[in-house]
Amino acid sequence: MAAQWLPKLRKLLPLDDGELTQIINYTAKLPKDKDDEATAHLEGLLGDSDEAKAFIAEFVKHRKEAASQTTAQTNGASTADENGGSPTYAPPAGPPPGPNGTGPNGANSGAPPSGPNPDNAPPPSYYAPPGSSMPIASNNNNVFGFTSRHSNALIQASNIRARDEQEMQNALQNLQFEYRIYNPEIEPEHESDYYCNCSIHQFMRRKMNRLGVQRMWSDAVMYPGERFYSNVSLTPTLFSSNPYYLRCGSPFGYGLSRSFNSSYLWGPPRPSAYAHMAWTQSTISLSNQLNREAQAKVDSKEPATSIWEIVPNMGQLTIEEKGPKSEKASKSEKGDFKGDKKGDSKDSKDEKDEKKLSKGGSSAGKEKIGRFASFKKSLGIKSSEEKAAEFSSSLRTSILSEEAGRWPDNAHRQLVASYQEKVGMAKHIADLRARKPIQYLHLLRAGYFEPIPVAWATQLSNPLKFSVEAREGWRGITPAWRGYEDLAEERLYWVLNHREGSVGMRMKPDFISEMDMAQRRMAAAVEPPPMYFSPDDTCMRLHTTNDAGYSKQVMPTPFRAYDRPETPNDDSMILLDVSGSMDFDPVRPMYDRYLITGYARSTQPKNKDVAKSIIRRFVDALAHHDHQTLGYDLVTFANRATYIGAIHHRNFDDMWRGVRVGGGTRVMTGWQKVKELHFQKHRESAIHHPIYGWQAGPETPILRLLLFLDGEATDMDEFELDLLGLSWAHVTIFLIGVDNCPHHHRHANELQRISDVNHHVSFVDAQGNCPERFVTHELLKRHLGYDISLQEFEEMEHLPAYTEV
């Protein structure tokens, strides 16, 4: 079907054939009575040129014939009736699972399907056997980690968006670097309205080429009544549907207030500190307002009665056979409905008409009403009860179909139920399913109620890495999605806000609040305790100024033991960040209000040298504590993870030579490697799931991990999400930062919030010239799980008497 229209659409929309095929199939499979919706969808993608109008008219004319040729079911996002009717939901696409969780033909769901793959089916995903390393997923993999057995509109949109999501994020960073823009939220603007083929306009053209992908993504995640909007246009109009366009201004200012780049005679303007502050404040205020309105609107559209109560088809009932009275009617009889406040019950219009027609006790009135109802029925006009029943039935069917596709057997369902209990979400999810099924279905389709697929750890772009950009129109999953950086952060805070025991809403601080809190934290730094002074510290040996001394430190929160103390059976490992910044000369940003204007050098040693010294102290003290002579596994990570080996006092320098620095900061690659090593040692007490990876059993030993970071990892929220569902891992995070750096303290505040919520995560940080003995002592307390006295720590510092093995 797609082959017939593909050449024509290719001329109008500059996307690859896979994306064009998805657009054709999605539009063709809209319900047969949704020609207006299909037309609007194509117009939003193709524009209103004569060529586009001709293509749309021809395609819509033959759409019904084409749709009847495909066997896939509709899997669109929810849509609202134009006349105010209730939205309808279609079951997810893809063939239903076979018996015992197998594929549609009885084959194993993990095997590739036989025969040609239909246009709409996502390609299969393959999984490595237990104990082996996961290969990096290619762009052809299903980014949700599911095989072709299951799909929905969100999974299909994610597969397409993942193809170039990382490339677009990298392109934006390169553009910002070229024009010396250091705030990640600012995109360079061009002064001219005409297309001049500069790098800014080239990037805008790439965004325009993604308009079809953005529309498909929005259709998959929008709630009933929401409208699509984008910020993609070379010449935005005053009639733009983007609410941020006219109400928030620009970080560059307008007219004479614009600051131009002195390096370019007629080049793009420079951001203004004052305009950026006003723009940021307006954006935050508008996002908060839109979030409140969106949440209230979705809540108002939830069914008034439970969709899980089986009710008769209202269309088959006569006036005399309406059955059980509605909740509104029963309340009215009891006198507790709003109309009965003073005992004077007000009849509705239909009730008044019925009383008039039935006055005198004759049956003529009822006969007239029955005829009128039959007349309305013959015209196809549905009553509100019929619409509500139809909506509830459609919504119920969609939820059951999605659940059956995602969790096809008892093993899946038990694993998901265990995950919900461990995260503390079981009761809220059950309540959401019963009372707010519209929101439940959206979150269900996005995988909110199950563990993170293990394949995501090694993928360059997975759904949790997708950016959320309110000004650009790239939406999130929840109704109140504006203000988050990516889908991982949105999901993390959704979980934190709805876990059992949560007190109040833990809202993500906005940018201005984060900066203000960072400044307050930075001002709280004090001189470190003098008893921890050591002339062997790295800052004493490698300082770059004549003033050799410790920097002021923010004292960690007093230690409190939550987990049981360390036992001989526990498994200790070290995970080290070796991204390129570990070998950089430390620098800190300079701010004008909230705008970064440049960077200043710091005098502290490089982070890799500080990390080496603290790891050496930590390993020696830990070995003295537990008399472990075989050492502790060391794993490094940047863009990918590397297992260095078991490191101890005798081989420390030799093993450290295998540490290579360079690349990005992707902590999930290292975390996945650590989990593989841990479960290879203890595989007899654990099980391996093809989608969700290793699952610990009741006898699996505790993993105690020391994680070294020198900044914020790109997938830190994913890591924190994964830790929320684990009871067999205790992680102590050490964050190395630059002295007087707001970025360091912003990240430290975030990690402290996570530590306060998840007691399996502990946190310590240091900035500038740090006292290594003090840091090591605090790390050992949290790693071993009890309050180590200073005397005991000093005894642990002495090297143990090693014996040859």
Q: Which residue has the higher pLDDT, 654 or 22?
A: 654
Contact 303, 436 (CB under 8 A): no
- What's the Cα-to-Cα distance from 611 to each of 166, 196, 661, 715, rounded to whole Å? 30, 48, 12, 21
pLDDT of residue 478: 96
> Is 103 buried (19+), middle (13-18) or exposed (0-12) by CB count in 10 A?
buried
Q: Which domains does the chain show, CATH number per domain?
A: 569-797 (3.40.50.410)
Each residue's pLDDT tens digit, 674-721: 999 999 999 999 999 888 999 999 899 999 999 999 988 999 999 999
pLDDT of residue 67: 53
pLDDT of residue 457: 85
Looking at residues 345-371, what average pLDDT do you find? 48
Each residue's pLDDT tens digit, 640-681: 999 999 999 889 999 999 999 998 899 999 999 999 999 999
pLDDT of residue 101: 36
φ, ψ dihedrals at 708, nearest 5°: -100, 125
Looking at residues 198-214, what average pLDDT do you find? 91
Each residue's pLDDT tens digit, 396-414: 999 999 999 999 989 899 9
Helix axes 667-681, 716-724, angle to 10 degrees: 40
Contact 385, 314 (CB under 8 A): yes
Whether the predicted pLDDT of 391 surpasses 70: yes
212 alpha-carbon distance from chain centroid: 21
Helix (H, G, I), strand (E, B) or coil at 259: strand
Lowest mean pLDDT among 433-437, 509-513, 723-727: 723-727
State the average pLDDT for the chain: 79
- In this structure, what DSSP letter does residue 707 have? E
Whether the predicted pLDDT of 600 surpasses 50: yes
581: left (phi over 0), alpha (psi -120 to 50) or beta: alpha
Helix axes 511-523, 273-301, angle to 10 degrees: 120
Q: Which residue has the higher pLDDT, 337 or 410?
A: 410
- Residue 190: pLDDT band with limits 50, 70, 90: confident
Whether the predicted pLDDT of 234 surpasses 60: no
Written as six digits, the tokens of 751 are 């990690």
What residue ranges in 193-349 does DSSP mark as E strands? 259-260, 269-270
Lowest mean pLDDT among 205-209, 261-265, 498-502, 782-786: 261-265
Each residue's pLDDT tens digit, 716-750: 999 999 998 888 999 999 999 999 999 999 999 99
Which residue is listed with tokens 């593989």?
676
Q: How far apart are CA 183 and CA 185, in angstroms?
A: 6
Whether the predicted pLDDT of 498 surpasses 80: yes
- Percent of the chain's residues with pLDDT above 70: 73
Whether the predicted pLDDT of 79 surpasses 50: no
Using alpha carbons only, give the angle 410, 123, 4 rounded to the nearest 5 degrees. Answer: 130
Whether the predicted pLDDT of 787 surpasses 70: yes
Largest CA distance in the chain: 108
Whether the predicted pLDDT of 561 surpasses 50: yes
Count the residues in the chain: 805
Q: Which residue has the higher pLDDT, 229 or 236?
A: 229
Lowest mean pLDDT among 374-383, 573-582, 622-631: 374-383
Q: How far apart are CA 762 and CA 163, in angstroms?
A: 36
177: left (phi over 0), alpha (psi -120 to 50) or beta: alpha
Using alpha carbons only, give the angle 315, 316, 321 rounded to the nearest 5 degrees. Answer: 105
pLDDT of residue 793: 94
Using alpha carbons only, give the angle 617, 733, 493 rounded to the nearest 5 degrees. Answer: 180
What is the DSSP secondary-structure string of 129-165?
Answer: PTTSPPPPP-TTS-TTS--TT---HHHHHHHHHTTTH
- In this structure, what DSSP letter does residue 22 have? H
Written as six digits, the tokens of 110 are 């993990």
Q: How many CA atoms within 13 Å lie on the side-chain side of 391?
A: 24
φ, ψ dihedrals at 281, nearest 5°: -65, -40
Looking at residues 165-191, what average pLDDT do you find? 91
Whether the predicted pLDDT of 128 surpasses 50: no
Q: Which residue has the higher pLDDT, 534 or 43?
A: 534
Lowest mean pLDDT among 75-79, 109-113, 323-327, 463-467: 109-113
Looking at residues 4-17, what average pLDDT do you find? 73
pLDDT of residue 741: 95
pLDDT of residue 75: 38
Output the pTM of the full model: 0.75
Q: Which residue has the higher pLDDT, 556 or 256?
A: 556
What is the DSSP secondary-structure string of 728-758?
Answer: SEEEEEEEEE-TT-HHHHHHHHHHHHHHHH-
Whether the predicted pLDDT of 11 surpasses 70: yes
**Residue 372: which residues within 8 A CB-CB, separation 6 or more?**
none
pLDDT of residue 805: 42
Whether the predicted pLDDT of 342 surpasses 50: no
- Percent of the chain's residues with pLDDT above 90: 50
Produce one character per residue of 386-398: b if its CB has 16 or more CB atoms within 10 Å, e if not: bbbbbbbbbbbeb
